[in-house]
Amino acid sequence: MTIMPDHQTTYRVTFDRIGRHGGQGGSSAPEPIVRSMGGDQLADSIALYARRYIASPSFEVLLDMEAMAGQIVAGFRNAGTFKVEIVTTGGEW
């Protein structure tokens, strides 16, 4: 049993697509990921996960926690989109 601090929130990140092959051209979108962190840490975690799908050596994750959505940008191109939803907030798991 894991006890999480009260301020800890768990998010599910569901990808519409990532890169050229993760959810385009008939391929299925990457599996959702679940992370217990917030803000910058969540964006960093999404970037680590997305790395395997993106050919570009340089990309950025844009995360809008108010809209509960974001995108991955490589250069001036949209390299992916995703939605964020709250799974649990704080307490005991």
User: What pLDDT shows up at residue 8?
Assistant: 74
Give whole-number Cα distances, 84 to 43, 47, 48, 60, in Å: 11, 14, 16, 17
User: What pLDDT shows up at residue 69?
Assistant: 96
3-state secondary structure (DSSP) of residue 42: helix
d(CA 58, CA 32): 22
Q: What is the pTM of this model?
A: 0.78
Contact 11, 85 (CB under 8 A): yes
Contact 80, 22 (CB under 8 A): yes
Residue with tokens 């391929």: 27
First to last CA, the chain: 7
34 falls in which pLDDT band (50, 70, 90)?
confident
